[in-house]
Amino acid sequence: MWKLKSDQLLRPTQYVEKNLVTAILDGTYSCGTTLPNERSLAQQMGVTRPTLRETLQRLAAEGWITIHHGKPTVVNDYWQEGGLRLLGTLSKYSDYLPNGFITHLLEVRLTMLPSVAGRAARFQPEILLDCLAEARDLAEDAKDFSDFDWRLQMLMARNSQNPVFSLILNDFAQIFANMAKLYFKLNTARQASRTFYSELTRAIEKSTHTVEDVVKKAMEQSILIWKEVKKS
């Protein structure tokens, strides 16, 4: 089961994390099942028990597993029991994400980002406008769009005067980067974003209450485009 040779560039704790998390995600250890005891698991993976124990404790803190002293370690229903830190770990293993996960993530963004953008536009409109002005010079390149779009979202969060928004978005960073590379390969996606940046600029310049509406519309459209990406 374990493939240490192919992962020899990883540190021991990274190797343990990768193999345990991917085994949980691919159903090798499904929710409600138990892991082998520490001695057996450490031997199977070719690592020391302290290395294994360190990783298990961290995964338990994120909500992947529950450690019962003197009893087997149980795999949690991590969608129900995990915390935001779990997203950061999950983002490293995008090949194992369950179907529909990105759509669910985009739905969370749809709920959160309009309010974040509205706050940032009220408190720091010039900062957003300076960033949006750069959109006019974006090349028709998926990576350029991906980098710019994420920078704009983080700028909104950091200027919303609520630091919790930045903490939440930070956990989405790697997943977003992986998804955006596929998303922005579509000309439809790039053109939709160009329209969004123009409409958002006008809404901020007019100091209207339409900023939230503009962002909500764009986020709804991004979900529809992403579903088309997954069909292709």
pLDDT tens column, 60-71: 999 999 999 889
How far is it, in rounded angstroms, from Cα 74 to Cα 30?
10
Domains in the chain, start-ordered, CATH in brackets? 5-82 (1.10.10.10), 99-231 (1.20.120.530)
For residue 8, is pLDDT > 80? no
How far is it, in rounded angstroms, from Cα 108 to Cα 29?
27
Mean pLDDT to the nearest integer, 21-47: 95
**Region for 36 from its dihedrals, namely left if φ exceeds 0, alpha if ψ lies in -120 to 50, beta otherwise:** beta
pLDDT at site 27: 93
User: Hunting for tokens 């939440």 — which residue is that?
Assistant: 168
User: What are the distances in angstroms from CA 117 to CA 57, 63, 102?
Assistant: 37, 31, 21
Which residues are 140's β-sheet partners? Answer: none
pLDDT tens column, 101-129: 889 999 999 999 999 999 999 999 999 99
Phi, psi of 74 (to 5 degrees): -105, 140
Neighbours of 226 (CB within 10 A): 20
How far is it, in rounded angstroms, from Cα 144 to Cα 197?
14
Tell me what the pLDDT averaged over the chain comes to.
Answer: 92
Which residues are 74's β-sheet partners? Answer: 34, 66
User: What are the distances in angstroms from CA 128 to CA 105, 141, 186, 202?
Assistant: 24, 22, 25, 12
pLDDT at site 5: 45
Written in H, E and C, the secondary structure of 19-58 is: HHHHHHHCCCCCCCCECCCHHHHHHHHCCCHHHHHHHHHH
The answer to which of 45-49, 81-85, 179-183 has the lowest mean pLDDT is 81-85
pLDDT band at 158; cut points 50, 70, 90: very high
pLDDT at site 96: 85
pLDDT at site 2: 53
For residue 92, is pLDDT > 90? no
